[in-house]
Amino acid sequence: MTKINSESNHETVHFLRAKTASGQSVKQKWSKDAISQLFNLSFNDLLYKAHTTHRENFDPNSVQLSTLLSIKTGGCSEDCSYCPQSARYDTEVENTPILDIDEVMRAALVAKEAGATRFCMGAAWRSPKQRDLDLVKTMVTSVKSLGMETCATLGMLKDGQAEQLKEAGLDYYNHNLDTAPELYGDIISTRTYQDRLDTLDRVRAADINVCCGGIVGLGESLSERAGLIEQLANLPEPPESVPINLLTQVEGTPAMGTEPLDHLDFIRTIAVARITMPKSFVRLSAGREVMDDGIQALAFFAGANSIFYGDELLTTGNPNVEKDKLLFKRLGIKNI
């Protein structure tokens, strides 16, 4: 894949998203230099600053629980280098049809009984067709009837699709930026950074809460990691939910063999996200299965206050429910 020119693309993205849907200019709140300075603080100073920010905005002993279900697995036409669901890579993930409503409702009930308050539905699509969207709308309305918050991640949305999801009762839409603009072309070539920003604009215009984060451990530099946070923190409105994923390496994907990220650098990313987006929920997402309890405890101290809860994230592992409950008990954390 051809790497995007870092300077020209970086400037273009800022220019294109420096206006709201109404055309009003948006002042940048965080510069890349200021974010880089946060990353370069001593570990204790950074955690102190992050935890202080966290306490000013949230109960530091509460964590929101979400469960993620893959409602359509595999066969995706995109070429995201980290994703085992891409049809372009030889992985063990098979292309399966969309689940029926009964299967989804059974999974939602199990999630609710386990303590999850938000149910997220993910589909391996570049963009949903109308017939697919109609099925998802039924799922959203049905899960909503259980008293749970609903979230969906279905790929890029076209004009009018976000409004349909809003009408069905969708609370959150997840669409990650993945990484910084300057690294993006090394990670995916089948959709542009602007495509992602356009979908976020459609979600926001439809008055759906935005869930948007990225992946660390893709081989990015510290400057590129700061660039991801810069993009997220300077959206016209910061995302209500910010999932920070640690790359889960899967055999058969191009990202396999990437030098693993130091877990303390992952904690630094959580801390910087908390400082720059003080009122957003910061979620521990993919990668928790390789983190020991001490690292997860540090993540909560640094400002993470949401997790994906359950035994599987789409197609990769996740700590099981009982293990999470035990950890919460040991840390004196309650779920919300």
Catalytically active residues are 76, 80, 83, 120, 151, 211, 283
Tell me the one-letter amino acid at 313: L
Q: Determine phi and psi for 244, rounding to 5 degrees.
A: -110, 110
Neighbours of 227 (CB within 10 A): 26
CA distances for 200 relative to 99, 237, 294, 332, angstroms: 26, 10, 34, 36
Among the listed residues 196, 193, 242, 245, the one whose alpha carbon sits nearest the alpha carbon of residue 216 = 245
How long, in residues, is the chain?
336
- Mind spelling out the 3-state secondary structure of 114-179? CCCCEEEEEECCCCCCHHHHHHHHHHHHHHHCCCCEEEEECCCCCCCHHHHHHHHCCCEEECCCEC
